[in-house]
Amino acid sequence: MDSQILQRIKNCKTLPAIPALPLQVLQLCRDERTSAKKIGDVISKDPSFVAKLLNVANSSFYGGSRHKVTTVTHAVTLLGMNSIATLAFCFSLYRDLRKKGGGAFDHTHFWHRCILASLAAKILAKRVRVTNEEEIFLAGLLQDLGVLVMSEALGSEYGLLYKKADQDHQTLEALEQGRWKTDHCEIGAWLAETWELPELLRQSVKGSHDPSLASSSDEVSLLTVKCVALSGRLADMWCHREPDTAIQSAIQSSKELLDIEPDGVVEVAKQIAEGIPDMSSFFQISLGKPEEIQKVLDRLEQVVTGVSQPEIPEPVPTP
């Protein structure tokens, strides 16, 4: 990264900081001696998160429970410490940072894509049988953290560039590189390192546009990075200004990154759509009206049907 742009970022007094609650929860979860009750006691200090946590514990997306979950300790036991740490991080990050971003920066579109990508990343992780679903969920949410950093450090200059990209993520990256010789992936990875987040999260952010840029030392790490990279492409089906372009990109990237056939993309997209209501409730953000969400699914199926149909040769004229 260019030293001048890095210094400009470091000098920014409003640079995003890691929220206190998830930092404390993460530290507790790293200690094998930590009990569910101890984590519950820490979480209980944040009533707004407690309410969200109980909703998640009873939601269909997280498997729900045969008996209604009414206590934090029960939720921690049911969901597991990794899930709790991830949810605490995601909730606090969104709550504390959602008003960040300068000038013409579009907060709504930014968070819409981040949350859909985190949902897609978790679903992809389950599909390819990677066990660290929660870490991938968090990586999906954090992959564009560099956008917030750039918008804070560079103000309206970045806001106007973000607006010029017109909801096209690939265009945004190209514009960033053209202007500053770096992009939000590299800067996001730098912030993740500054926050001392796990190495796998840092590499997932770094490789979120191009997985080859990440240092993936084993198959699990490589799959994680690829899940995160693909999650953004899938989110774009609902966030891109031209859904057909995003759908074609998602189909192509799914095959290239995780060897998912077009029919599989439809399955994943339907699972994303099913999880949207729970994510909307948890983050208190509209991720699209039901008819808008369904419209994308319908269009995807139309495109996939066309992709899947074999070409029928022209009949040979009878002499």
pLDDT at residue 205, rounded to an integer: 94
CA-wise closest residue to 17 among 198, 194, 204: 194
The domain containing residue 30 runs over which residues?
A: 19-97
Residues 124 and 269 in one domain: yes
pLDDT at residue 100, rounded to an integer: 62
Residue 124 in tokens: 């992809």
Distance CA 115, CA 118 (A): 5
Distance CA 5, CA 23 (A): 27
* Mean pLDDT of the region 262-286: 93
Considering 76, 97, 118, which residue would you say is the last residue of a domain? 97
Residue 1 domain flag: no
Distance CA 239, CA 234 (A): 9
Average pLDDT across the chain, whole number: 86
Residues 91 and 128 in one domain: no
Residue 313 domain flag: no
Read off the pLDDT of residues 298-313 as tens digits, 9 standing for 90 and up.
999 999 998 654 444 4
What pTM was estimated for this model as a whole? 0.85
CA-wise closest residue to 300 among 254, 250, 255: 250
Distance CA 51, CA 65 (A): 16
Q: Which residue has the tokens 């969901």?
A: 79
* Mean pLDDT of the region 144-168: 90
Measured in degrees and rounded to the nearest 5, phi and psi for residue 129 equal 60, 45
CB 94 within 8 A of CB 24: no
Residue 28 in tokens: 């507790």
- The DSSP call for residue 215 is -
Of the two residues 54 and 243, the one the predictor is more confident about is: 243
Residues 76 and 208 in one domain: no
Distance CA 249, CA 180 (A): 26
* Mean pLDDT of the region 130-143: 87
Residues 111 and 201 in one domain: yes
CB 45 within 8 A of CB 105: no
Read off the pLDDT of residues 208-231 as tens digits, 9 standing for 90 and up.
999 999 987 788 889 999 999 999
Does residue 259 carry a pLDDT above 60?
A: yes
Other Cβ atoms less than 10 A from the Cβ of 271: the count is: 17
**Could you give the angle at which helices 3-10 and 184-194 cross, rounded to 10 degrees?**
50
Other Cβ atoms less than 10 A from the Cβ of 119: the count is: 26
CA-wise closest residue to 97 among 167, 165, 195: 195
pLDDT at residue 204, rounded to an integer: 94
Residue 169 domain flag: yes
Task: Report the share of the chain in percent with pLDDT over 90.
Answer: 44
* Mean pLDDT of the region 60-89: 76
Q: Name the domain count of the chain.
A: 2
Residues 137 and 53 in one domain: no
Lowest mean pLDDT among 13-22, 207-216, 240-249: 13-22
pLDDT at residue 312, rounded to an integer: 42
CATH number at residue 180: 1.10.3210.10
Considering 97, 112, 130, which residue would you say is the last residue of a domain? 97
Residue 6 domain flag: no
Residues 221 and 269 in one domain: yes
Contacts of 198 (CB under 8 A, 6+ apart): 135
Residue 172 in tokens: 């945004």
Distance CA 121, CA 203 (A): 15
pLDDT at residue 196, rounded to an integer: 82
